[in-house]
Chains A and B, each alone.
Chain A
Amino acid sequence: MNQPLLEAINLSRTYKLAKGSAGKGKAFRHALIEMNLSINTGDRIGIVGESGSGKTTLVRLLLGLDTPTSGSVEFKGQALISGKMPWLRKDVQIVFQDPRSSLDPRMKISEIIREPLVCLGIDEDHDARIDEVLDSVGLERAMRDRYPHELSGGQRQRVAIARALAPRPGVLIADEPVSALDVLVRDQILELIAQLTDKLGLTLILVSHDLSVIARLCNRVIVMKDGAVVESGNTREVFDRPAHEFTRALIGAIPRLPESL
């Protein structure tokens, strides 16, 4: 049997809430409950859910940026531990939601993209690689010496994508990559992610609350609610024939445009 590329096994994450916020004693919030998920090479998985559904917690656990309360995450059969884990980071990279906050305001674009190359000890000419990824995300090489605040929202997100792609990962996780962007810019960034996924043969994990974003990029979808999966399957099938009540509510809530001629 083929081993999955990235696997979540009975993954749970519980947060301790501050005392007093919910009466006496210790209060807990179960952000993720006994989640099982396996992702194979080449998959394009969409994770959809509302706030508090556990999707961001899941992303952090998959990246080893957080420690599960119970259960485990395995990448190529190796369990994630806390720490630097260069073997994981070289292969699994992330694009965050808001490039205004995910790029250090005091760093030049070139330094930002250089960070993973330096930290992961990537053995190639860093400057050449920076130019290369800038080209592939459609930014001018002259942007190298700019600071994030000199760029537009869309350009900043391109920088974030460039940083993620710099160490040549096999898996790209995008956590709400377009929801902080203007409507017209969203299209361009989605187009770019789709194009790069194809060209580089990436495994894509896309987290979004927007069903149309998932529909455009993913062949599989997982619908999450309150820390658990309520429905999963082929994107088209789930969206066309939602089995779970919550999925139907999500779909029904989308405002439809007036019919065109």
Chain B
Amino acid sequence: MKKAMKGNISLITGSVMVAITFSLLILSFIWTPHDPLEVTPDDSFAGISSKHFLGADKLGRDILSQIIVGSRVTLLVAALAVTIAMTLGVSAGITIAVASRKLQAPMVYAVNIALAFPAALLAIILAAVYGASTLTAVSAIGLATAAAVAQVTRRTAYGILASDYVLAAHACGASTWRIIRKHVMPNLRASLLIQASAVVSVSVLAESSLSYLGLGTPPPAPSWGRMLAGSQQYIFVNPLLAIWPGIAIVIVVLGFNLVGDGVREVFDPTLRRSDS
């Protein structure tokens, strides 16, 4: 009982935080206080004022407007990276889980090697070949996290495949494909939701880091990671410049993490089935 409540609290807090991010995204298409790219030298390092609610950067660009528009990159990255990571990771994980023993070992090694490959290195390689862009960052993040998703999916699917109800399905004459569709996927769902929320958090952070390193979204399009990078020089003079994008990143990452946590508490059958 207590745990389910706790799950709901994470779920509610997380959902609110995620909702804030999405509101920013919608808002970015409707209204921003200023043009986020508008350079006004007079407002350089302007503090909090009625003109610039969150102040302005060195070039006098409005911070609030940049944060609002920056949500586009962040959520685009999150959405694309999740799609790549989950599609690749889940199909690879399930394929390995249902493969014959002999084929399993090399595939597991391949996943382990992919796991050991750092996302930043992949991003550098992609950026070197194709030029740094949101797309190269997304691909690098998606590919790098796919291995982790594959790993978790494989383990969970393995447990499901070893269960009595899958054995019973075999005894009913079910094909492997049917077992994947009807038994493995539905029982993986909770675990997949949790993984997806983790991938969102990881990719938002990774995009910020990559943009910070200059391997992500190129200027002038505002991105939270690059805003953070740009504010680095002025951190002691004007700490607010670093704090605002920092808060934005924390809200998204924490929000999706809490949603993931909440989902786990709600879905976890060991917590729910307390009757026996």
A residues bordering B, Cβ < 8 Å? 63, 65, 84-86, 89-90, 93-94, 96-98, 100-107, 111, 115-116, 119-120, 149, 160, 163, 167
Contacts and interface: CB of A to CB of B under 8 A. Distances in A.
Given A89-B171, A104-B183, A119-B174, 20 more contacts: A63-B171, A65-B167, A89-B172, A93-B171, A96-B167, A100-B276, A101-B164, A101-B165, A102-B167, A104-B187, A106-B186, A107-B182, A107-B183, A107-B186, A115-B182, A119-B178, A120-B173, A149-B272, A149-B273, A163-B168
Contacts of B163: 101
Contacts of A119: 169, 172-175, 178
B3 interface: no
A108 to B, nearest CB: 11
Interface string B142-181: 0000000000000000000001110111111111001000
Contacts of A97: 164
B162 to A, nearest CB: 10
Contact of B168 (A85, A102, A105): A102
Nearest to B168: A102
Nearest to B275: A149
A119 B172 CA distance: 7
Interface string B102-121: 00000000000000000000
A102 B174 CA distance: 14
A167 B174 CA distance: 13
B269 interface: yes
B269 A105 contact: yes
Given A65-B167, A100-B276, A101-B163, A115 B186 contact: no
A96 B164 contact: yes
Contacts of A85: 173
Q: Nearest 3 pairs between A and B by C-beta?
A: A116-B172, A101-B164, A106-B186
Given A89-B171, A119-B178, A105 B164 contact: no
A75 to B, nearest CB: 14
Given A101-B165, A104-B183, A119-B178, A65 B171 contact: yes
Q: Is the interface of B mostly helix, strand, loop or mixed?
A: helix
Interface size for chain B: under 10, 10 to 19, 20 to 34, or 35 or more residues? 20 to 34
A246 B273 CA distance: 40
Contacts of B167: 65, 96, 102
Given A101-B163, A102-B164, A105-B187, A84 B173 contact: yes
B164 A115 contact: no
B241 to A, nearest CB: 49
A102 B165 contact: yes
Nearest to B169: A115
Interface of B: 163-165, 167-175, 178, 182-183, 186-187, 189, 269, 272-273, 276
Nearest to B276: A100
Contact of B171 (A94, A98, A104, A111): A94
Nearest to B272: A149
Nearest to A160: B168
Contacts of A98: 164
A115 B182 CA distance: 10
Nearest to B175: A84
Q: Which of B167, B171, B276: most chain A CB closer than 10 A?
A: B171
A156 to B, nearest CB: 11
Contacts of B173: 84-86, 89-90, 116, 119-120
B192 to A, nearest CB: 13
Contacts of A90: 173
Contact of A96 (B168, B174, B175, B178): B168
B172 to A, nearest CB: 4
Contacts of A120: 172-173
Nearest to A84: B173
Nearest to B185: A106
Contacts of A105: 165, 187, 269
A41 B165 CA distance: 28
B104 to A, nearest CB: 15
A122 to B, nearest CB: 10
B176 to A, nearest CB: 10
Contacts of A107: 182-183, 186
Nearest to B167: A65
B187 A163 contact: no
29 contacts: A63-B171, A65-B170, A89-B173, A90-B173, A94-B171, A96-B167, A97-B164, A100-B276, A101-B164, A102-B165, A102-B168, A103-B165, A103-B168, A104-B182, A104-B183, A104-B186, A104-B187, A105-B165, A105-B269, A106-B186, A106-B189, A115-B182, A116-B173, A119-B173, A119-B174, A119-B178, A149-B272, A160-B168, A163-B168
